[in-house]
Structure 1
Amino acid sequence: MTIVRIRSLSALALSTMLALTGCGSGGGLSSGDPVKLLVFGAPEELGAYRTLIEAYQQARSGERIQLIEASDRKDLLARLATSVAGGAPPDLFLMNYRFYGQFAAKGVVEPLDERIAGSSVLDPADYYPVAMEAFRWDDAQLCLPQNVSSLAVYYNRTLFTEYGVPEPTAGWTWNDLVTTATLMTRDDRGLVIKGTEAEGAARLPAVHGLGVEPSIIRLAPLVWSKGGEIVDNPERPTRLTLDSPAARDALRNLIDLRQAYGVVPSDAEVEAEDDESRFLNGRLAMLMTSRRATTNFRTITGFEWDVAPLPVYRQPVGVLHSDAYCMTRGSRNKDAAWRFMEYAMSEEGQRIIAATGRTVPSHMEVSRSPAFLDPDQPPRNSQVFLDAIPTVRALPTVSTWPEIEDLSYGILENAMHRGDKLDDVIRELDAKSRPMFARGENG
């Protein structure tokens, strides 16, 4: 079985593109052209941003925003790098904190401190500090975070009721998760299937108990919950630290979901139907993912679903998922771009995007309002995301982190689906990622 590994845009190519950047002043006056905003997302997510843009344009006569839609995260990174190198960058882009460091390190992103200080709309004290801090680089606020999400466990309430399995609750443990996922892995007659694919070859699952991607961002909160660390120094990392006892245990437990228990879909099954689609189609009982899935899941009509917090080892810990509006230093439409950023980050803008289901608002008051906690819109238990905020930790923003994540995904994917030896997995991750850390820049 061949596992396809995801490779990032090479660091050399990206550095070459960014070295050519036209990062001049870009001017402060509107050129009369629309503000160009580069984003990526599923159709439902893009629909949320169109809703925001339409509201802005109606509220601000004469203002125009052009949404540039990348197909996925890698396409967004490549488009941004190419457009910057070509001297025609978008005015704004929306990016996760884990990926913006490569652009911050090259001076592509416009610092916002002066504009924030002069704003009558935005007060940094209104926003969750953990999200704001994730977008500080060299003591400057480079981007404004629209959301402060974390991982949660989405689950099919209808299936839980049908199979008579208790729904997950706050404080549940990893062992509880494994037990529940085992009980929810069923054949086409609704009977529990225990064990790996080989053991149950005659009874392939019609429903899998759990979906979780084998990635660093999924592994990190499990390691932290056990008391371990992902890297040696979160501020200036030089290596992964998955060789510690806590990290080894968490990694082994993640791999065992497939290798020992068979509760997650096989490699071939994931290639045929990704986990999010499998959940949408009622063939996945639980899915570990972030808030961004909500807009897609609100299209579900065939069953009831909700969210539960992550399982706990020693202590509850979440991993930060946060995307921010960033202005390019080469923008020729900065004043108009800033006006849209102010609106998008204002209470009004945050309420609009929160109502679509896309975000856990970074604006504290909006996050506690019906715009986010609407009891008439699933998930019923959106409070789970707010309860997690005090526990969330950010992953490193070292400029080479996207490469490290992509490298790790391929190796962890092989481990989960091929059963590679744990010691070999940890050694390979360490050996191949160290040069990436060495090339990285930190804010």
Structure 2
Amino acid sequence: MRTRGGLAAICLALVVGTTAACTSSEDPEPTPEPTGEPVRLSFGTTGSDAEAGAWDRVAADFDGGDDVTVDTVRLPEEVGALEAQADAGNLPDVFLADRSDLAWLVENEAVQPVDELLDERGVDFGDRYSRDALQAFSSDNALQCMPVGISPMVVYYNTDLIDFDRMRARGLDAPASTNGWTLGSFAAAAEFATRPGRGTRGLHIDPTLRGFAPLVYSAGGQVFDDEVEPSSLSFSSDETRSALETFLPLLRNRPLNLTADQLERRSALEWFERGRVGMIAGTRELVPELRRVDGLRFDVMPMPFLGDDATVGDVTGLCLSAETKDPAVAADFLVHALSAESIGRVTRVGELVPADLEVSVSDDFVQPARQPRNPQVFTESIRDIRLAPLLDTDGALSDAAAPFLAEMVDEPVLAPEDLEVLGAEIDLASREVLSPDDIDLDGTPDDEDDDVDPGLLPSEEPDEDDPGLG
């Protein structure tokens, strides 16, 4: 496991109100002088065909002089794709990256920090970008990549199945505004959307680390044992177990949730598009696809409030390759790609929640004539994002926890002691990913006794009369 230093690289400007850039603790390498030779930059893009097309037009509009050409390259998006590109010597000069790639990129010195280069070119990222966005791409006392999009997870709901005015008219617990809702009003909306005669269900939340994390954080739990350099997940802690006990009863309520059989036949998103499920969780990237569904009417709400405002999200940034032959020209192109005009062009596609605060309040993002009717839910939820530690093991960690989280939802009977066992199993499985050197040969952490408390072993014959959390 490799993890980088966490939050020390936030711009001083965000604290004292100046426009100074984030700076590295070491003197930066001087920018080479232009040679006068023709320059051919490569620009790596990701996203849907429409979003990649918008980036292509941004590249085509770059005026770097007659001797500068920018070639766009569509990057593969599977896990480890950027590592493969770098290992093969094919990392573009400028490229889009997800925050989950940052740990590997920095550890392997595949990128060069952008704060000094942008400051030299007058980019005012102290005022135009939120602290959360800058923090997400900061590591080793420098801004490693420039944030482009920061898209929180929110709740999408079908406005035909869930009508808050009608709920209130019936005396049901409905949210008073789009600012937020409690677990009670979230559950009431799920019940309102569940109509057995029409074959509709109330909700679906993926039983994964990503799906559970907003609810765990909101209910006072923690996903990791340390938010900077974790050695384990934290599902066996008292706080996280209490958080699970808060929201699992709703996710285990069979009539309200999509069944395992339904999910085998179609994804939750497909059921939502068919008007058969009231609520799903997702980021802004779902918007263009949902807009294309004839007859589907939808809006968004924040993740439910269980004691604190919390969510997770996707953060993307523009990075400069450490191997680019023309860092000055690459930095000039980066400034062009970060302009309000360029980001606005990409934002109009509908997938991006721009990290640029100026664009995030413009019609390029708000798109007032289109669904969802309350796009401000995305921008207002940014401040609630809980950033995960910078790890290069996200995929393996999620896979390790997945079967136990699924069991928390699918097991017919889940007694409190069973939840305690599953939490311990999740944490042990996570240590094998995050800190394998700290695990004894018998599979127990070095700092724990080898004797297993028999009280933590699942019973072979659960008491059917004790419903527990089910």
Distance (Å, rounded) in 1 between the aligned partners of 2:403 and 2:94: 31
CA contact under 8 A between 1:212 and 1:289: conserved in structure 2?
no
Q: 1:107 to 1:34 in 2, by over 3 A?
A: closer
What RMSD in Å do the two structures reach over aligned CA positions? Answer: 3.1
**Deviations along 1:237-283, whole A, 9 cap, x unmatched?**
22222223332233345544453334332333223221222222222
Q: 1:123 to 1:299 in 2, by over 3 A?
A: same
For 2:50, the aligned partner's letter is: G
Aligned-residue offset at 1:147:
1.5
**Deviations along 1:63-84, whole A, 9 cap, x unmatched?**
43323142x442xx2x322222
Structure whose CA Rg is larger: 2
Counterparts of residues 141-160 of structure 1 (less than 5 Å) = 141-160=143-162
CA contact under 8 A between 1:99 and 1:402: conserved in structure 2?
no
For 1:427, the aligned partner's letter is: A
Match of 1:104? Answer: 106
Q: 1:178 to 1:35 in 2, by over 3 A?
A: same
Q: Does 1:353 align with 2:360?
A: no
Match of 2:360? Answer: 367
Counterparts of residues 16-415 of structure 1 (less than 5 Å) = 32-39=39-46, 41=47, 45-58=48-61, 60=63, 63-70=69-76, 72-74=77-79, 77=80, 79-161=81-163, 164-165=166-167, 168=175, 169=177, 170-187=179-196, 189-190=197-198, 206-332=199-325, 334-415=327-408
For 1:37, the aligned partner's letter is: G
Aligned-residue offset at 1:431:
0.6
Q: 1:410 to 1:335 in 2, by over 3 A?
A: farther
CA contact under 8 A between 2:31 and 2:328: conserved in structure 1?
no
- Higher mean Cα deviation, 289-298 or 114-123? 114-123
Distance (Å, rounded) in 1 between the aligned partners of 2:74 and 2:292: 24
Q: Which runs of 4+ in 1 moved over 6 A?
A: 25-31
Which secondary structure does the structure 2 equivalent of 1:303 belong to? Answer: coil
Q: 1:304 to 1:233 in 2, by over 3 A?
A: same
CA contact under 8 A between 2:221 and 2:242: conserved in structure 1?
no
Aligned-residue offset at 1:89:
2.1
Aligned-residue offset at 1:388:
1.9
Distance (Å, rounded) in 2 between the aligned partners of 1:290 and 1:302: 21
Give the TM-score, by structure 2 length.
Answer: 0.75
Which secondary structure does the structure 2 equivalent of 1:393 belong to? Answer: coil
Distance (Å, rounded) in 1 between the aligned partners of 2:334 and 2:202: 41
Distance (Å, rounded) in 1 between the aligned partners of 2:62 and 2:43: 18
Structure 1, gaps ≥5 residues long: 1-10, 13-24, 191-205
CA contact under 8 A between 2:220 and 2:243: conserved in structure 1?
no
Which secondary structure does the structure 2 equivalent of 1:397 belong to? Answer: coil
Aligned residues: 395
Distance (Å, rounded) in 1 between the aligned partners of 2:407 and 2:45: 33
**Deviations along 1:354-405, whole A, 9 cap, x unmatched?**
2221122111122122222221121110111222233322111133334223
**Deviations along 1:175-231, whole A, 9 cap, x unmatched?**
2212321231223x33xxxxxxxxxxxxxxx32211221222232222222222222
For 1:94, the aligned partner's letter is: L
Q: Does 1:433 align with 2:430?
A: yes
- Higher mean Cα deviation, 123-132 or 244-253? 244-253
Distance (Å, rounded) in 2 between the aligned partners of 1:400 and 1:273: 29
CA contact under 8 A between 2:221 and 2:241: conserved in structure 1?
no
Q: 1:335 to 1:301 in 2, by over 3 A?
A: farther
Q: 1:339 to 1:283 in 2, by over 3 A?
A: farther
CA contact under 8 A between 1:152 and 1:307: conserved in structure 2?
yes
Aligned-residue offset at 1:145:
1.1
Percent of counterpart pairs with the same letter? 24
For 1:425, the aligned partner's letter is: L
Distance (Å, rounded) in 2 between the aligned partners of 1:414 and 1:97: 29
For 1:438, the aligned partner's letter is: S
Q: 1:350 to 1:380 in 2, by over 3 A?
A: same
Tell which has more relative contact order, 1 or 2 (C-alpha 8 A, sep 6+).
1
CA contact under 8 A between 2:234 and 2:240: conserved in structure 1?
yes
**Deviations along 1:29-82, whole A, 9 cap, x unmatched?**
78744514042x4xxx33123123214413538643323142x442xx2x3222
Q: Does 1:424 align with 2:421?
A: yes
Distance (Å, rounded) in 2 between the aligned partners of 1:180 and 1:237: 36
Distance (Å, rounded) in 1 between the aligned partners of 2:104 and 2:244: 27
Which secondary structure does the structure 1 equivalent of 2:435 belong to? Answer: helix
CA contact under 8 A between 2:83 and 2:104: conserved in structure 1?
no
- Higher mean Cα deviation, 330-339 or 369-378? 330-339
For 1:52, the aligned partner's letter is: W
CA contact under 8 A between 2:348 and 2:364: conserved in structure 1?
yes
Give the TM-score, by structure 1 length.
Answer: 0.79
Distance (Å, rounded) in 1 between the aligned partners of 2:269 and 2:326: 38
For 1:338, the aligned partner's letter is: A
Q: 1:245 to 1:391 in 2, by over 3 A?
A: same
